[in-house]
Amino acid sequence: MYDCIIIGGGPAGLTAATYLGRFLRATLVIDEGAGRAAQIPQTHNLLGFPDGISGRDLLHRMREHASRYGAEMVTGVVEGLKRTEAGFAARTSSRTFEARTILLAQGVSNHRPRIAQDAHDRGVAHGLIRYCPICDAYEVRGKRVAVLGSSDHGAAEARFIRHYTGAVTLLAQNAAQLSEIEAAHLSDIGVSVRQAPVQEIAVTDRDLRITLADGESLQFDTLYAALGTSANSGLARMAGAELSDSGCILVDEHQQTTISGIFAAGDMVEGLDQIAVASGQAAKAATAIHNRLSG
C-alpha cells in the first residue's frame, strides 16, 4: 500500500514525487514515457538553465532527483482506476497497485499537423515545427513564421508571435474559420492570412516548404501548430471526477479533484501550460496529500 500513486512522469509528476519523498511518503510513479516534455529539443525559460536544456535531459535529472528521495518508478500504462476500502487501485496490463491517494499528471496531447511521423519528429528536433510560443517565440524573433490553425486560437497565437517578428502568416489546415473582422484586424497588425487550406508540408534541413490547395508555394523558418490539445483525462472520467468543457480536470485550491483523495496537476488542469506552472501545482498537490495523510 503506497501513500500516493502518481500517474504520469513528466515535470508535474516528478516534482510531486520529489516532494512526497522528502515528506517520507511511500510514492510510486507510473509513466508511459510518451509525454510532451520529452519532445522539447531545447528550453531556455527554466530558471537555472540559461544556456538551455533538452526535455529528455531535464526529465532524466528530475527522475534522478525523485529517486534519490525514495520514489519508485514503473514504466507502464494505467488502464483502470477505482476506489477501494483502503483507498484506490490502479491497474496496468500486468498488475494492480494500491495507494491511499492518487495524483493524476498525464498532461495533454497535441493535435498535430497532417504530416508523416518521421518528418514531424525531424521538424520538432530542429526547431522547424513548434507548439508553444510562450515557451520559445523568443527563439524565432525576426524569422519567417507560419501559424497553422485558422480559428480564434490560431489568430490569437499569430497575434502573440507578431510581437517577435514582422513575418507572420496564418494558415488553415482545413477550411478557414476566421470572420472578416478578425481577418481584417490581423491584416492591420501585419499578419498575412491565407484562406486556401494547406495541402502539403515538406521539411528540409533548414526550412519548411508549404503548398496550399490553390497551388501557392510558401517557405518558412518555423511552423507553429495552433490546432489545440486534448487532455489525457480518461482515468479522471473513469473515476467520476468532474471535467471542464475543454476536457481538463477541475480542481480546488489544493489541486484536489471532485473525488476526495484524487488530485491532479500539470497541463491536464485548466491553466497556463508551462513547466514552471505544472511544478508549482505539483508542489501544492504533494503538500496537500501529505497533510491529508497526516490528518
Note the pLDDT of residue 181.
Answer: 87
On whether the CB atoms of residues 265 and 12 are closer than 8 A, the answer is yes
- Provide the H-helix boundaries in the chain: 11-22, 55-68, 117-125, 133-136, 152-162, 180-188, 234-239, 275-294
C-alpha dihedral (263, 37, 143, 174), degrees to nearest 10: -70
Cell 507572420 belongs to residue: 168
Q: What angle do CA 266, 262, 13 make, to 5 degrees?
A: 35
What's the rounded Cα separation, in Å, for the pair 168 and 186? 10
CATH number of 2-109+229-294: 3.50.50.60
CA distances from 261 to 67, 156, 249 (A): 23, 37, 14
112-225, which class in CATH? alpha beta
pLDDT tens over the chain, length 295 residues = 999 999 999 999 999 999 999 999 999 999 998 899 999 999 999 999 999 999 999 999 999 999 999 999 999 999 999 999 999 999 999 999 999 999 999 999 999 999 999 999 999 999 999 999 999 999 999 999 999 998 888 999 999 999 999 999 999 998 878 888 888 899 999 999 999 999 999 999 899 999 999 999 999 999 999 999 999 999 999 999 999 999 999 999 999 999 999 999 999 999 999 999 999 999 999 999 999 999 8
**Residue 29 Cα to chain centre, angstroms:** 18
Note the pLDDT of residue 178.
Answer: 86
On whether the CB atoms of residues 114 and 126 are closer than 8 A, the answer is no
Neighbours of 242 (CB within 10 A): 12
What's the rounded Cα separation, in Å, for the pair 179 and 164? 24
C-alpha dihedral (11, 13, 16, 18), degrees to nearest 10: -70
Residues contacting residue 204 through CB under 8 Å, at least 6 positions apart: none
Q: What angle do CA 64, 139, 38 make, to 5 degrees?
A: 30
Note the pLDDT of residue 161.
Answer: 98
- Tell me 174's DSSP state: S
Note the pLDDT of residue 151.
Answer: 84
Note the pLDDT of residue 23.
Answer: 98
- Provide the H-helix boundaries in 105-176: 117-125, 133-136, 152-162
Note the pLDDT of residue 172.
Answer: 93
Task: Return residue ranges of the chain for CATH 3.50.50.60.
Answer: 2-109+229-294, 112-225
